[in-house]
Structure 1
Amino acid sequence: MTDSRTTATSSPAPAPVRAPVEAPPLPHHRRVLTSLGTYLIAAQDGALTGVWRQEQSRFPGTERLGATAPLEDPLLCAAQEQLLAYLSGDRDDFDLPLAPRGTDFQRAVWNRLREIPRGATTTYGQIARDLDRPRAAQAIGAAVGSNPLSIVVPCHRVLGARGELTGYAGGIETKQALLVLEGALLA
């Protein structure tokens, strides 16, 4: 008599079905023609990550810019609209979600920059004192110089110790034009 039972062979269990892993949203950007030149506005994961003048020093690489965004990107549309309104004098500040990449120290400096009102200026030394780092004026200068959100985070409002216009990644002429626009300098 033969045994009609079949012997089950042991095979590995199939892998469980899992939801696809979504990659984090990639950075994307758009070019904006302004009265001060061409700017690139970049965003990632629902927040603005950069505003750079095309000709500026320390211009970012493609890893920070990402691909060109679709024209209907709501965040970049809002950023473009606010930047153009600001530069035409129709807007005093920005209301955008921001996510600049930097160290804790850099972000502390950039947050302090956002507290400088339109039409006002300060110095690197004053920011150092404000942050309880009175001997860190040079480090403050380096953090200000690496600000990825020019104009939106107003690094152009920081002057040298004697009120002189000092280095600006977008060019001294751009810094001067912004300060004239804001009423901090006479034309």
Structure 2
Amino acid sequence: MGLTKNQCAMSKRKKEFPGASHYKDRHGVRRWRYRQSGFSAELGSEYGSPDFVRRYENAVSRLKSPSASKRRKALKGTVAALVDSWYESDEFLSLRGSTQKVYKGVVDKFRAEHGTKPVAEMKLRHVKQILAKKANTPSAANNLRKRLIQLMDHAVDLEWRDDNPVRATKTKKLSGDGFHTWSEREIAKFFEFH
């Protein structure tokens, strides 16, 4: 007794993306979701698409992350809870996986230091103090500032705050003249080598 073509395809899909299953939404559209150990994440409607694979990898990595259980326990209104919410937002999930990883590297350090603090009580002076600690590394300070702007904008969207105090800060000036403009000779040398 053999399997039908559809059953074979479904069997291959389950092996390719373990934990992924399909369902029909209220409009009759076939959608996919990841489910494991009580955790669930939407994967979209285009099975195997780059967006589907990115969402699947995020779901698997979140489940395997040792800090995932700690994140669920974050107190409402704290920096940690805001970070958790932002990581689950469409704004963050629509970023490329490599960009998410870079952003998490910055934000997770901030959360480790300030995670228990209430978001609503963050003032401009606090932001300036946080950024001043990175005065020796202006690029790192500017990167942190950008991520904090996104986090506080998310807090405003959630109505945890009425304003975003980070927007009142200025970027740190970088030393140096930047990169020089290549001469025709340097461009020719580049093309010759590559």
Q: TM-score, normalised by structure 2?
A: 0.28
Structure with the greater alpha carbon radius of gyration: 1
**Structure with the larger RCO, 1 or 2 (CA within 8 Å, 6+ apart):** 1
Q: TM-score, normalised by structure 1?
A: 0.28
